Amino acid sequence: MHTTEFRRFTATRRSSSTDLIGVSNDDVKKIINHIDATADAAAKLLDVKEITIERSFASKKWPSWSSLSLARSLDDGSSMAGLPRSHAEVRSVELQRSLRFLQPFRVFTEGSSDVVDLDFSNGLLYSGSYDSTVKIWDVKEKQLRKSLKFSAPISRMKMSSSFKNTGAACLQNGDLVVFRHSLDGSDEGGADASQVFPASNNRFEGSSVLWTNSKARNGWVFVSYDNKESDRRELTAHLGDLRVFDAVRGAEIGGIKPGSTRQLDICLNESEQLLVAGAVSGPARALTPDTFSHVRVWDLRATFRRILEFGCRHRDINKVTISPDQLYITSSGTDGKSYLWDTRYGSEPLHVLEHGDSRTPLSPERDREDADTGVTFASWGTGDGSLLVTGSSDGFVKVWDPRRADPFLYDLAAFDDPVMSGAFSPDGDALIIGETTGKATVLSYAGRHGPPEDFVQDRSMLAPNASEAEESGVERAQRLLRAGQVVLVYEDGERPAVYGR
């Protein structure tokens, strides 16, 4: 068989999802065995394993994915039954397998302070934490470049992809700080320039922040606000806010209504035309007796017109997402579950995606949603964005495919402590996961070459008086709790008392 005939066959397989009518297994073997030796492009593709772990492979336009799958299956002696029948299907299968190659690559520790948000921008990694700093890391040089100090602990942080070295940080005192920095000068200090926007209520605290980059709304900052009131029996404890700011003009655009209850998380679709928000239902707003929150979708092209609403069983929402194809909406909460809805069918969840028990010891007398952090990371992964990746307090990062009857695919990674945050790099070649102890791990395709290496060589900027071997207070407390040497006793709903044994 000549090369032109082989290429005609592969083109047929790529162009549509029709079956290979009239082509038997023997025919396919003959085609594969008689490939012209001069067909370099086809010959290189026969080593499938190398392709799946090559850097940024998902963005390359490899020809004849379907033929590769057929060749590998037939060489194993298997039949054609059940094989993917289109280019898109085979591509999705390879993407599912490729995530397995993400392995721990580099690890860095940020003292004992919780890393609450992570973001990649302009080749740098930014981490915001409860120690009131945003730290800037050089991934290639494996070192901390700068530490920006703020007036209060960071609750959420996001960098702009349109404006270089510019970000927005939500502080626990309710302020939104839009800041710009340089990498010159002192390694520590404040931002070079900043704008501060106070919350509309001194009890409000930013729970999520994001930037827009579209031409019509470039430089807009969306912020959702939760309520800091610890006693949920208070009449105003359910109040929150959802507001929009123009960082370019340094002005507030206004609020999005309805949005007056506790707003817990927000996200935009890829085209930035749809806004998704997860919020607590008000005292008289529950759709059903077991509905404690809701997820709403707004169309930003129509002056914030609400187009969808789903009732949710979460008492507390950590993350909401929308899939790149806009078919699926998710809500992840402190109970270790994620609810997934198909926007084409009704208001009931299509799947309930569950993680395991928390790695942090919890009191059996308290509801998990009140005591645990639950699912704190959710993202639609890389490539075609068809797979959902979640991380939770059980220390696992899991991969899900909502198109399957059983959506669970596999555990991508396991950690010693609860997952606190996570982010994919812009090119999808790396995933960074932050834990409650302040440790963060970069998972990368390069991690398959050996054990992870330390991300930080010089810790002088992080903990001047601490040694690498010293156990942090959080780690020691968790160890004592696991060993039963310390017990937590809850009385009348008050904060726990600690007793040693």
Q: What are the distances in angstroms from CA 328 to CA 48, 159, 340, 358, 424? A: 31, 26, 7, 26, 19
Q: Which two tokens stand for residue 481?
A: 């709790």
Name every residue whose Cβ is closer than 8 Å to that of residue 500 and which is 6 or more positions away in sequence: 480, 485, 486
Question: Exposed/middle/buried for 278, CB within 10 Å: 0-12, 13-18, 19+?
Answer: buried
* Of 156, 105, 94, 93, nearest in space to 128 by CA: 156
Question: Given this model, what pLDDT does residue 134 score?
Answer: 93
pLDDT in 10s for each residue of the chain, 501 residues: 433 333 333 333 333 333 333 434 454 444 444 433 333 333 333 332 222 222 333 333 333 233 333 333 333 333 334 444 444 444 454 455 567 667 766 676 654 456 778 888 888 889 888 889 999 988 777 788 899 999 999 999 999 988 999 999 999 999 999 999 988 766 677 777 889 999 999 999 999 999 998 888 899 999 999 998 767 678 788 899 999 999 999 999 999 987 789 999 999 998 899 999 999 988 765 556 778 899 999 998 877 889 999 999 998 999 999 999 999 999 999 999 999 999 998 789 999 999 999 998 888 878 888 888 999 999 998 777 889 999 999 999 999 999 999 999 999 999 989 998 888 887 777 888 888 887 888 888 765 555 555 544 344 444 443 334 455 566 777 777 777 767 666 555 555 555 555
Residue that has been written with the tokens 């123009």 in this structure: 246
* Of 220, 291, 287, 297, nearest in space to 266 by CA: 297
Question: Given this model, what pLDDT does residue 219 score?
Answer: 92
Question: Given this model, what pLDDT does residue 275 score?
Answer: 95
Fill in the amino acid letter for 465. Answer: N
Question: Given this model, what pLDDT does residue 470 score?
Answer: 52
Q: Please give the radius of gyration of the chain, using alpha carbons only, rounded to the nearest integer.
A: 25
Name every residue whose Cβ is closer than 8 Å to that of residue 173 and which is 6 or more positions away in sequence: 151, 152, 205
Name every residue whose Cβ is closer than 8 Å to that of residue 279 and which is 6 or more positions away in sequence: 224, 240, 242, 259, 261, 262, 263, 264, 293, 294, 295, 296, 317
Residue that has been written with the tokens 């044994």 in this structure: 501
Distance of CA 33 to the CA centre of its chain: 44
Beta strands at 204-211 and 193-197: parallel, antiparallel or unpaired:
unpaired
End-to-end CA distance of the chain: 79
Question: Given this model, what pLDDT does residue 284 score?
Answer: 65
CATH numbers and ranges of domains, the chain: 3-100 (no CATH), 102-461 (2.130.10.10), 473-501 (no CATH)
SS (H, E, C) 165-216: CEEEEEECCCCEEEEECCCCCCCEECCCEEEEECCCCCCEEEEEEEECCCHH
Question: Given this model, what pLDDT does residue 110 score?
Answer: 52
Q: What is the distance between the alpha carbons of residues 472 and 454, in angstroms, rounded to a whole number?
A: 17
- pTM for the model: 0.68
Question: Exposed/middle/buried for 224, CB within 10 Å: 0-12, 13-18, 19+?
Answer: buried
Any alpha helices (H) in 255-296, and if so which ranges? none
Q: What is the distance between the alpha carbons of residues 79 and 73, in angstroms, rounded to a whole number?
A: 7
Question: Given this model, what pLDDT does residue 230 score?
Answer: 64
Question: Given this model, what pLDDT does residue 13 score?
Answer: 31
Contact 59, 427 (CB under 8 A): yes
* Of 395, 358, 323, 380, nearest in space to 481 by CA: 358
Q: What are the distances in angstroms from CA 59 to CA 54, 116, 380, 427, 429? A: 11, 30, 16, 9, 10
